Amino acid sequence: MSIVDLKRKANLIRQDIITMLVPAKAGHPGGSLSAADIVATLYFKEMRINPQEPNWADRDRFVLSKGHAAPVLYAALAEKGYFPKDELLGLRQTGRMLQGHPDMKRTPGVDMSSGSLGQGLSVANGMALAGKLDKKDYRVYVLLGDGEVAEGQVWEAAMAAAHYKLDNLTAILDYNGLQIDGPTDSVMSSAPLADKWRAFCWNVIEVDGHDIEALEKAFAEAKQVKGKPTILIAKTVKGKGVSFMENQVGWHGSAPNAEQAEQALKELREEGLSLG
C-alpha cells in the first residue's frame, strides 16, 4: 500500500475512534489517536495477516500492551475486515463484542487480552520464543505506552528479550509524553528513555510516530537486525489529529460528546480530503 493510502487509512482509523467513543460514553481517545499512524502502518503494510483466518498459525502477532488504546486496534481490525464496522458502535456496551480493553476470547483478530499495563512485552516475548522453537518466520509486534514503562515488568521483559536474542520481535513505544496524572516527566520520569533501552542491549530506532514513511523504514530496518530485539521510540502527540485533544492530559480517558465529536470529525474529514 502506498504512503498516501496508508495516510488515508490512518485518517479513517482516527475518524472511527471518535465515532465509536460517542455511544460508548467512556474510553480513551488520546492514546488511541497518538498510535493511529503506527497501527495503520502495521495492519495495512507491515504485518503478514489474513482477516479471513484470524488464528492462522503463521501470522504476525500484535500485542496492544497499552490496552486502553483498544479503539485504535478495533478501528484497524474493522477497517481490515475482521468484523463488521457496525460492531464499533457497540463498544463498551453490555453484551457486545468490543470490550473496554482487548479480549482475545471475544474479538477476532485480537492476539492477546490486555488492559493491565506492563504485561504485554513479556507476552510478546513468549510468542517470539514460540516462533523460534517452531522454526516459524512470523514476527511479533508490541505497542507500549511511555507511562507504562514505569512498570518493573517491562524491564524484566526487556532484559529477557535481549538475553534470548529475540530479533523476531519489534516493540513500539508511543512516546507521547503524557499519562493520566500529568506529563510523564513530572509523574515518573523515564529519562533518558532511549539510552535505557540501549543499555538493555536493544536496537533502538528513534522515529517520528506520525511519519508513515519513516515508520515503514524503521520497521524494515528492524527486520534486518539480527541477534537482538528492536524498539521504535516513536515520538507522538497525544490526541493527534483533533486540535482540541492534542497534548491535553484531560483527553486521556474521557469520551467526546456528540458536539465535540462533530467538531473532531469535521477536522478529520478535512484532513482526509486534503490527502486527495
Partner 1 sequence: MANKAATRDAYGKALLILGKENPNVVVLDADLSKSTKTAEFGKNYPERFFNMGIAEGNLLGTAAGLAAAGKIPFASSFAIFATGRAFEQIRNSIAYPKLNVKIAATHAGISVGEDGGSHQAIEDVAIMRALPNMVVLVPADGEETRQMVLAAAEHQGPVYIRMGRLEVPVLFDEDYHFEIGKAKVLKEGTDVAIMANGLMVAVALEAAELLAGEGISVSVVNVSSVKPLDEETILRVAKETRAVVTAEEHNIIGGLGSAIAEVLGEKLPTPMVRVGLKDTFGESGRPYELLEKFGLGKEDLVKAVREALAKK
Q: Provide the binding-site residues for partner 1, judged by CB under 8 A.
A: 24-27, 67, 92-96, 98-101, 103, 113-118, 147-148, 150-152, 179-181, 184, 187-188
Omega cis (within 30) before 192: yes
Residue 27 binds ligand TPP (CB under 6 A): no
> What cell was used for 60?
504476525
CB of 16 to partner 1, least distance (A): 18
3-class DSSP assignment, residue 14: helix
The nearer residue to Mg ion, 90 or 177, going by C-beta atoms, is 177
CB of 171 to partner 1, least distance (A): 17
Nearest CA to 98 among 41, 27, 15, 35? 27
Binding region for ligand TPP (CB under 6 A) out of 49-57, 120-128, 144-152, 268-276: 144-152
Residues 136 and 223: their CA atoms lie apart, in Å, by 14
Residues 219 and 241: their CA atoms lie apart, in Å, by 23
Residue 189 binds ligand TPP (CB under 6 A): no
Answer yes or no: are the C-beta atoms of 142 and 102 closer than 8 Å. no
Residue identified by cell 535505557 is 196
Among 27, 145, 209, 229, binds ligand TPP (CB under 6 A): 145
The nearer residue to Mg ion, 253 or 272, going by C-beta atoms, is 253
CB of 167 to ligand TPP, least distance (A): 25
- Listing DSSP states for 93-151 in one string gives -TT-S--SS--TTTSTT--S---STT-HHHHHHHHHHHHHHTT----EEEEEETTGGGS
The mark string for 141-160 relative to Mg ion (x by CB under 5 A, - otherwise) is ----xxx-------------
Among 178, 212, 233, 245, binds ligand TPP (CB under 6 A): 178
**Under the rule (CB under 5 A), what is the footprint of Mg ion?**
145-147, 176, 178
